[in-house]
Amino acid sequence: MKTLLVILDGLGDRPIKELGGKTPLEAANKPNLNQLAAEGICGLLNSVDIGVRPGSDTSHLALFGYDPSVYYTGRGPIEAAGVGIELKQGDIALRVNLGTVDKKLIIKDRRAGRISSVKPFEEDLNKIKINRVQTIFRAGTEHRGALVLRGPNLSSAISDPDPHEVGLKVKKITPLEKGKAAENTARVLEEFVAKAHAILESHPHNKERVKANLLPANYLLARGAGVVPHIPPFPEKYGLKVACIAGGGLYKGIGRLLGMDVLPVEGATGGANTDLNAKFNAVKKALEDYDFIFMHIKGTDALSEDGDLRGKVHFIEKVDAAIPIVTSVKNLLLVLTADHSTPVCLKTHSADPTPILMHGEGVRVDDVKEFGERPCAKGGLGRIKGAHLMPEIMNILGKSKLYGA
Amino acid sequence: MKTLLVILDGLGDRPIKELGGKTPLEAANKPNLNQLAAEGICGLLNSVDIGVRPGSDTSHLALFGYDPSVYYTGRGPIEAAGVGIELKQGDIALRVNLGTVDKKLIIKDRRAGRISSVKPFEEDLNKIKINRVQTIFRAGTEHRGALVLRGPNLSSAISDPDPHEVGLKVKKITPLEKGKAAENTARVLEEFVAKAHAILESHPHNKERVKANLLPANYLLARGAGVVPHIPPFPEKYGLKVACIAGGGLYKGIGRLLGMDVLPVEGATGGANTDLNAKFNAVKKALEDYDFIFMHIKGTDALSEDGDLRGKVHFIEKVDAAIPIVTSVKNLLLVLTADHSTPVCLKTHSADPTPILMHGEGVRVDDVKEFGERPCAKGGLGRIKGAHLMPEIMNILGKSKLYGA
């Protein structure tokens, strides 16, 4: 039996007047999702815990059975994994923006005029040498990248140089706790940022930008330092060969961090304009080779954050139309849920639980006939937490370890 | 108000095609259980936790409010209590088979030809003297028994001599952790096993067996070493005079370990052929003297492990037919649930939750009219854990301690 876990990011919502008191999911025309609900078991899920409003990072860790209170050390490690850096336990990983500063180190733009890529700087920034510490810089999308510090005596307890506001001077990096490790790390990062600034100031690509009347990407703004924890890889933890199919970098990063094969899909954008058919077809193909597919769909969340009610309803209908591509796969355990709710009225994550459905041979069937927040509240799974999801899946797969005798 | 807790072992199941998508419990004709459900409150229960596939031992400890992560140290102590050894905190208890080995200590039969009892060896094995350690051997059913090591400087961190396979040589017992206690225990057990082998080889009962062309029970195969923890007796923990009515040795062992009076019932076999009327009549009688009866019924699990679908349905119908023997008892809180699910399609324990019903004066009534997995999913108890069961019972009994003021 194979497993497909579809995360419809930010799917959960609240009753909306314009929809006659229904949520976008309830209002959507979704015959296929309703059939899956009728044939399977439903419930409500809080990825971290009841009343907790989770980030995208903590929620996904929790859903895969990695307690975020143990494995979440900041966004840095996930971003660094997302841009493809091979992390080692003990690495200090940071998110990085390349921004624009003036001669007095006053921030003029935190995103260097939304530069399309910082890839042209990657090679030269990786030439920086720091005594006893290896540094790895990797470009991400647009102005973004990740930086990893590797070596002895390092700590993530350092302040961010990023003042998070235009017109302010970049901040000195300081240790946030006593001890040599934090002091050393602050010094190393200061040195790296200074050397990077010197390189970027005189970099040919920036000279071209200035000539073209564009802002130069001349300063490295780091944040979200986190130490890379020991993470038992998903394939070892569960004995399942696993692939990740996602458009957004963060979700690919989570996949990589957990030891999943991240499969590229042409047309997967990590937004509402993604090619859903291409993604579901890629999932169907991957199910031939893998035991477990983590499929991430961002559109529901992106549209919620835009407050685009009709867009969210329509996007759910598009997911419903595409899902028969995979429901024809035999011996499939299909699990459909979200990482958190993103009510369109709030345009941000909330702690409301998300609907969940499980469908496949061996799943107990309940009386829920429709996939929606209100019907799922009466489902046979009850109200579960993210930490319960993988154990419930392993139970259906017949792979639960016996506790006791 | 008296309490009867009926554990229908392995009751929970999954939807089955031959039963029109119903579970055995749902398919069974059970007017009495349905009436109890209609008049009481229902729910779903995971004895240990959601997604955990529990053994028979851990699940029962959890149901009685003894956290298995604290009180479960291996099967040994439960088996030793089951054969009637009075355990003391710190004892090392082991399950024992008497098997047959040849001159080179190669296992010929792990059960000595399913010998009917090892009682004839009990007295002589208890004459073995080991320096500073008291040893207690007690026969169980057939080839089974239990061994207890009592004394200073003992540990359960020792390897099993039992290779669990015919044709292999018995294994040397080795310490599994550093320190004198484990080394000492391995040495003591080696010495006991060697002395037992010498006694058994020349034992008159074995000589008779060989003459009768039966395999001699000439070697002691120990396993499941566990240190006896301090277990607060059930009567003290809850202030309830408690009896256990069970056929299977394991369940009597759990009862004894928790300080219950284990009442003998003629015809209680611990299998599907048990005399249910005799057991319910024994319960009815015991309710005159006791506050709380733990009644264990094994047939549902035994038939599930045999994959006997029709047998399981029929056995549930027999339980339904017998249950009016106790429902006539006045002022009774009747709680009916299982330790775990044993789906007939799997023939083994699963992590699926089990249905539960509570019936009696003071119990809130919900809308569930039928006792089954699917209706119970909508019950008023919701989805609870074993750890919640005794607190819910104590609440109905009016015996919950006030937390705060």
Using the predicted structure, report yes or no on whether residue A35 has a pLDDT greater than 90.
yes
Of A363, A364, A401, the CB nearest to B53: A401
Partner-chain residue, chosen from A367, A388, A404, that has the shortest CB–CB distance to B50: A388
How confident is the model at residue B92, as a pLDDT? 97
Contacts of B56 in chain A (CB under 8 A): 404-405
**pLDDT value of residue A330:** 95
Q: Record the pTM.
A: 0.91
pLDDT digits (tens, 9 = 90+) for B335-390: 999 999 999 999 999 999 999 999 999 999 999 999 999 999 999 999 999 999 99
Q: What is the pLDDT, as a whole number, of residue A164?
A: 85
Facing residue for A391 by CB, picked from B51, B374, B382: B51
DSSP label at residue A16: B
**pLDDT single digits (tens) A65-77:** 999 999 999 999 9
Q: For B281, phi and psi rounded to 5 degrees?
A: -65, -35
Chain B contact for A333, CB < 8 A?
no
**Contact status of A1 with chain B (Cβ, < 8 Å):** no
pLDDT tier, A249 (very low <50, low <70, confident <90, very high otherwise): confident
Instruction: For residue range B171-223, list pLDDT tens digits in order.
Output: 999 999 999 999 999 999 999 999 999 999 999 999 999 999 999 999 999 99
Chain A: nearest CA to B373, how far in angstroms? 8
SS (H, E, C) chain B: CEEEEEEECCEECCCEHHHCCECHHHHCCCHHHHHHHHHCEEEEEECCCCCCEECHHHHHHHHCCCCHHHHCCCCHHHHHHHCCCCCCCCCEEEEEEEEEECCCCEEEECCCCCCCECHHHHHHHCCCCECCEEEEEEECCECEEEEEEECCCCCCCECCCCCCCCCCECCCCCECCCCHHHHHHHHHHHHHHHHHHHHHHCCHHHHHHHHCCCCCCCEEEEEEEEECCCCCCHHHHHCCCEEEECCCHHHHHHHHHCCCEECCCCCCCCCCCCCHHHHHHHHHHHCCCCCEEEEEECHHHHHHHCCCHHHHHHHHHHHHHHCHHHHCCCCEEEEEECCCECCCCCCCCECCCEEEEEECCCCCCCCCCCCCHHHHCCCCCCEEEHHHHHHHHHHHCCCCCCCCC
User: Per-residue pLDDT tens for A289-329?
Assistant: 999 999 999 999 999 999 999 999 999 999 999 999 999 99
Is B380 at the interface with chain A, CB within 8 A?
A: no
| Contact pairs from chain A to chain B, CB under 8 Å | 86
| Contact (CB<8Å) B374/A382 | no
CB-count burial class (<10 Å; 0-12, 13-18, 19+) for B8: buried
User: What is the residue whose two structure tokens read 């998508």?
Assistant: B21
- Across chain B, mean pLDDT equals 96
Best mutation site among B45, B352, B385 for testing chain A: the one with the most A CBs within 10 Å?
B352
Confidence at residue B164, expressed as pLDDT on a 0 to 100 scale:
85
pLDDT exceeds cutoff 90 at A234 = yes
Q: How far apart are alpha carbons A156 and A225 in whole angstroms?
A: 5
pLDDT at A230 over 90: yes
Q: What distance in Å separates the CA atoms of residue A225 and residue A175, rounded to the nearest whole number? A: 12
A381: chain B residues, CB-CB within 8 Å: 383
Give me the residue from A379, A383, A405 closest to B75, CB to CB: A405
pLDDT at B394 over 90: yes
The A residues from 101 to 140 touching B (CB cutoff 8 Å) are none
Give the minimum alpha-carbon distance from A39 to chain B in angstroms, rounded to a whole number.
Answer: 10
Model confidence at A381, in pLDDT bands (50, 70, 90)? very high
Contacts of A388 in chain B (CB under 8 A): 50-51
